[in-house]
C-alpha cells in the first residue's frame, strides 16, 4: 500500500540533527517549558507574520484558550462551519457557549460570507443568543475568504478566529490569515502539514494584552507580568492564581521536533504545491479537482477531489493498493451531540459535499512515478464507468 502521508520520508530527510535535538532534551531534564519552547514560539511567530505565538497542548486547546480569554460562555453564539473536524465546534459547548452552524462555498468548502451574514442576522432577530465570535476554518489547507468574513465580523462587533489547524502556512494575497483574524490557531498533530511527534498546538496573535492573558490561562491562571503591576508578591508568581485556567503546556520534546520541522516547512509547502499541480494536470478532465481562492496559496493538508461514484472509486483504488480518505462523511451539525444547535437556513452545500469528497495521498515526498500510478488508476476507473 502506498502511504497516505509519508512521515518516514520526512524523518529520513531530517536525519541525525532531529535525533540529536530529541536526545538533547532527554539529557537536559527540562521536559516542561525548557528553552526550546521559547525558541520555537519566536520562530513560529516570525514564520506566521505574528507578534506573538503561544505554544499549547493541542489544536483543540488552542481554540479553547482565546474563547476563555474573551469570556465567551453561556448565552453566547459562535459562528462556524459544519464541514470541518469536530474540534472546531466542540470548543463552544466546552466553554458553555453555542455553536451556530453556517454553510460553506461549493468550490472551496470554506465559510460562505453571505450565509455568515444571514446567520448573524437570524441569531440577532431570534434574540436568545448573543453573537460573540466567528471561527473560520482553512479547510484542507487553503485560506478562507478573510476580507469578506472580517467585514461581516467587524460590522457586528465579533471576534474572528482562524482555525488554521489544516492551513497553517497558507496565505491570501501574500498575507497569513492573522492579517484579518484576532487570533490564528493551529494543531501540530502528526498528520497536519506542520506536525510534531505527539499532540501540540499554538495560538498566534498581534495583541500584547491578549497574549499575556493566554500565557496565564495556559498554566492555571497563574499571575503574569501585567497582574503584578502595582502589587508585590514575595513568592513564586506561579502560585498566585488570578483566574481559572487549565494546563495546556506543550512538551519541550515536541518543541525540539518542531524547530527541526519548521526549518524545512517552507520548502515542503512548495513541494506540496508541485504535487497538487501534477494532480490537477493529470485529473482535471475526469474528476472535479479542487479550486483555490483567487490570490490564495494552499498548504494542501489534503488533496480532495469530487467524484459521483465516490465510494466505488475508493474501493477500486484500495484494490490497487492506493489509500484514500473521506473528510468528512458526516458533517458536525448532523452528529448526535450537535443536532440541537442553531443552523439557520440549513446547510445544503455541506451535506452535498459530504457525499462526494475523496482525499488522495498527499505529502511533500510523493514522487512523480507513484503519483502517475494513482492518477492512472483514477482515470481507468472513471473511463470504465462512463
Ligand X SMILES: *Cc1c(COP(=O)(O)O)cnc(C)c1O
60 near ligand X, judged by CB under 6 A: yes
Which span sits near ligand X by CB under 6 A: 81-89, 97-105, 313-321, 341-349?
81-89
Write down how long the chain is: 386
Q: Name every residue whose Cβ is closer than 8 Å to that of residue 287 and which is 6 or more positions away in sequence.
A: 305, 306, 307, 378, 382
Q: How are beta strands 52-56 and 201-205 bridged, if at all? A: antiparallel
User: Which of 40, 85, 109, 168 touches ligand X by CB under 6 A?
Assistant: 85
Interaction mask 174-213, ligand X, x per CB under 6 A: -------------x-x---------x-x------------
Which span sits near ligand X by CB under 6 A: 161-169, 202-210, 223-231, 292-300?
161-169
Q: Which is nearer to ligand X, 58 or 252 (CB)?
A: 58
Let me know if 334 is exposed, middle or buried by CB neighbors in 10 A (0-12, 13-18, 19+). middle
How far is the C-alpha of 291 from the C-alpha of 294, rounded, in Å?
Answer: 9
Whole-Å CA distances, 178 to 123, 146, 355: 26, 9, 32
Q: Which is nearer to ligand X, 282 or 326 (CB)?
A: 326
Nearest residue to 284 via CA among 180, 379, 149: 379
User: Which of 88, 108, 142, 350 touches ligand X by CB under 6 A?
Assistant: 88
Q: Per CB under 6 A, which of residues 332..361 are in contact with ligand X?
A: none
User: Which of 84, 171, 248, 371 touches ligand X by CB under 6 A?
Assistant: 84
Q: What is the dihedral of CA 249, 146, 76, 341, to 10 degrees?
A: -100
Least distance from ligand X to the Cβ atom of residue 380, Å: 32
How far is the C-alpha of 28 from the C-alpha of 23, rounded, in Å?
Answer: 8
Which span sits near ligand X by CB under 6 A: 12-20, 117-125, 159-167, 286-294?
159-167
Least distance from ligand X to the Cβ atom of residue 58, Å: 4
Q: Which is nearer to ligand X, 205 or 375 (CB)?
A: 205
Strand partners, 101: 80
| Other CB atoms within 10 A of residue 13 CB | 13
Residue 42: left (phi > 0), alpha (psi -120 to 50), or beta? Answer: alpha
DSSP state of 309: T
How far is the C-alpha of 105 from the C-alpha of 203, rounded, in Å?
Answer: 26
Strand partners, 183: 161, 205
Q: Collapsing DSSP states into helix, strand and coil, what is residue 78?
A: strand
How far is the C-alpha of 120 from the C-alpha of 78, rounded, in Å?
Answer: 10
Nearest residue (beta carbon) to ligand X = 59
Which span sits near ligand X by CB under 6 A: 2-10, 82-90, 96-104, 221-229?
82-90
Q: Which is nearer to ligand X, 91 or 360 (CB)?
A: 91
Q: Which is nearer to ligand X, 201 or 227 (CB)?
A: 201
User: Which of 36, 41, 103, 163 touches ligand X by CB under 6 A?
Assistant: 163
Which span sits near ligand X by CB under 6 A: 16-24, 160-168, 246-254, 345-353?
160-168
Let me know if 279 is exposed, middle or buried by CB neighbors in 10 A (0-12, 13-18, 19+). buried
108 near ligand X, judged by CB under 6 A: no
How far is the C-alpha of 81 from the C-alpha of 104, rounded, in Å?
Answer: 7
Q: Which is nearer to ligand X, 287 or 296 (CB)?
A: 296
Cell triple for 313: 472509486
Size of the site for ligand X (CB under 6 A): 15
Which span sits near ligand X by CB under 6 A: 3-11, 75-83, 163-171, 365-373?
163-171
Which span sits near ligand X by CB under 6 A: 158-166, 255-263, 340-348, 357-365?
158-166
Taking each helix axis from N to C end, the angle separating 252-262 and 35-47, rounded to the nearest 10 degrees, works out to 40
Interaction mask 117-156, ligand X, x per CB under 6 A: --------------------x-------------------
User: Which of 110, 166, 171, 371 touches ligand X by CB under 6 A?
Assistant: 166
Q: Which is nearer to ligand X, 166 or 324 (CB)?
A: 166
- Which residues are at the interface with ligand X (CB under 6 A)? 58-60, 84-85, 87-88, 137, 163, 165-166, 187, 189, 199, 201
Amino acid at each position: 500500500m502506498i502511504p497516505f502521508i509519508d512521515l518516514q520520508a520526512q524523518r529520513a530527510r531530517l536525519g541525525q540533527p532531529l535525533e540529536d535535538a530529541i536526545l538533547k532534551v532527554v539529557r537536559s531534564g527540562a521536559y516542561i517549558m525548557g528553552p526550546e519552547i521559547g525558541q520555537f514560539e519566536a520562530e513560529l511567530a516570525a514564520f506566521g507574520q505574528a507578534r506573538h505565538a503561544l505554544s499549547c497542548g493541542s489544536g483543540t486547546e488552542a481554540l479553547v484558550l482565546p474563547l476563555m480569554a474573551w469570556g465567551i460562555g453561556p448565552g453566547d453564539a459562535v459562528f462556524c462551519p459544519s464541514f470541518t473536524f469536530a474540534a472546531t465546534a466542540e470548543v463552544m459547548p466546552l466553554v458553555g457557549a453555542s455553536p451556530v452552524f453556517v454553510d460553506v462555498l461549493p468550490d472551496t468548502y470554506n465559510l460562505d460570507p453571505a450565509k455568515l451574514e444571514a446567520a448573524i442576522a437570524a441569531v440577532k432577530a431570534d434574540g436568545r443568543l448573543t453573537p460573540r465570535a466567528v471561527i473560520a476554518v482553512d479547510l484542507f489547507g487553503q485560506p478562507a475568504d478573510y476580507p469578506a468574513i472580517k467585514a461581516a465580523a467587524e460590522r457586528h462587533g465579533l471576534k474572528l478566529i482562524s482555525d488554521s489547524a489544516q492551513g497553517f502556512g497558507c496565505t491570501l494575497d501574500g498575507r497569513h490569515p492573522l492579517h484579518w483574524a484576532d487570533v490564528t490557531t493551529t494543531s501540530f498533530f502528526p498528520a497536519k502539514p506542520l506536525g510534531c511527534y505527539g499532540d501540540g498546538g499554538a495560538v498566534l496573535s498581534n495583541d500584547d494584552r491578549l497574549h499575556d492573558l493566554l500565557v496565564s490561562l495556559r498554566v492555571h491562571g497563574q499571575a503574569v507580568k501585567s497582574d503584578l503591576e502595582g502589587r508585590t508578591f514575595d513568592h513564586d508568581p506561579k502560585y498566585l492564581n488570578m483566574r481559572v485556567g487549565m494546563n495546556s503546556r506543550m512538551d519541550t520534546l515536541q518543541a525540539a521536533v518542531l524547530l527541526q520541522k519548521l526549518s524545512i516547512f517552507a520548502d515542503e509547502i512548495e513541494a506540496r504545491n508541485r504535487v497538487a499541480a501534477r494532480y490537477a494536470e493529470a485529473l482535471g478532465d475526469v474528476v472535479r479537482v479542487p479550486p483555490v481562492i483567487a490570490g490564495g496559496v494552499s498548504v494542501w493538508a489534503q488533496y480532495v477531489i469530487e467524484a459521483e461514484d465516490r465510494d466505488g472509486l475508493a474501493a477500486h483504488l484500495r484494490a490497487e493498493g492506493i489509500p484514500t480518505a473521506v473528510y468528512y462523511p458526516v458533517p458536525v451539525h448532523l452528529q448526535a451531540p450537535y443536532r440541537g444547535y442553531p443552523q439557520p437556513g440549513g446547510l445544503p452545500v455541506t451535506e452535498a459535499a459530504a457525499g462526494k469528497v475523496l482525499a488522495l495521498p498527499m505529502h511533500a515526498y510523493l514522487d512523480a512515478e507513484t503519483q502517475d500510478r494513482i492518477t492512472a488508476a483514477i482515470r481507468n476507473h472513471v473511463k470504465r464507468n462512463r
